[in-house]
Amino acid sequence: MRFLIFFFVVFICKKGSGTIYQCNTNASCGCSTSFTLVSRIVGGETAGRQSWSWAISLRSNGKHICGGSILSPSFIITAAHCFNDITNLTNITILAGSLSVTPSLNGSSQVRSVAQLYKHSDYDSSLFINDLALLRLSSPLNMGHGNIKSVCLPSDTVSQPSDNINMIAVGWGTTSALSSTVSSILLQVTVQSIASTYSGCKDLISDSKLQFCAGIITGGKDTCQGDSGGPLMAFANNVWQLYGITSYGYLCALPGYPGVYTRVSFYIEWIKSIMSFDEITTTTVSKSINPTTTVSTTRKILVRTTTNTRQSLATTRTSKSKSPTTARTGTSKNPIITTTRTSKQLMTAKAAESTFKISNNGEHATKKPLFFTVFLPTMASLYSFLVLFLL
């Protein structure tokens, strides 16, 4: 990391009920052109203009399905599960430089198609481990405008985040588990990293090296359906760093059930290897219609039981897997390949993870606590038996 020898004003000050962040405008990443005001997605607020210039909307046939973050003019990072049911990249685009979920009429926003999908080779669509993917755009974004910047990656020498730090999540997802309509404007919310030993987190995550929990233990603030793939950021070293990728959770903003995020610091080497490899080989790679590459580190991921889309409120968590709409396209000569688990593995995962469910488009996983799946039904059956016996 280079250190710039400039005097600049860097501060975090309290103003009313909000916090103003002013970053290092000389930094090459993680700093938008305007101050960022955060006062309190679910329990959140409208984002300020150009506050999060790296946030993008991932779209299928022009419809928002997930979020993502700009890493460079040609690369976007998002969640792998956003592509669970997408077999053709032809209709997949990203919208950058827009506060609105729709392209701006004044030409300030930019739309790009996706030339290549790099899904983590060890992504497991049933456990959501290694839930990340990189997208190479068909043509680079014009980064000369203040409304389009890149986010900083954290160091890979320390696992981030540590417990109990404030972070900001942004996205166009729904603002309630009861809603199926995404937000028309970018929203932001402040959450805290939560220890993996906390019971509500321990019940949800599969591997604390690869995932972490964030939210508010008392509930009320969370990411939700449609926010999947979007950034969870911390203000560190006077810039915004990408600590997490919105992945999944149990419904939205419930007390005791934080959201689950992919831990970006674990994957820095993987991310950089893809970006550098692609830059070296781009000129020699043939242009197939839907090229897909799986690049590894080792890992695997929540048990999958297919259900209908998110409208089935009781079985989907509006937590972190935020793909609000079913992104299905026709079959392709070059389908995106995903790994599957054997039935024996699925049964093991069900036993180990209780009951996890994910909607067809991979929006959000739901995990039902044992109280609802075992204790309550057992007590109800016992009560019925006693009533019949006494009568």
113 within 8 A of 93, measured Cβ to Cβ = yes
Q: Where are the beta strands (DSSP E) in the chain?
A: 11-15, 18-22, 36-38, 45-46, 55-60, 63-72, 75-78, 92-96, 110-120, 133-137, 166-171, 187-194, 211-215, 231-236, 239-248, 259-263, 292-295, 306-307, 355-359, 365-368
DSSP string, 262-322: EEGGGGHHHHHHHHHHHHHHGGGS---SS-EEEE--S-------EE--TT-GGG---SS--
The two structure tokens encoding residue 104: 């701006």
Strand, coil or helix: 248: strand
Write the DSSP symbol of residue 100. B
Strand, coil or helix: 349: helix
115 within 8 A of 93, measured Cβ to Cβ = no
**What is the Cα–Cα distance from 257 to 317, expressed in whole angstroms?**
10
- Report, as residue numbers or ranges, the catalytic residues: 81, 131, 228
- H or E, element range at 389: helix 376-390
Amino acid at 165: I
Strand, coil or helix: 128: coil
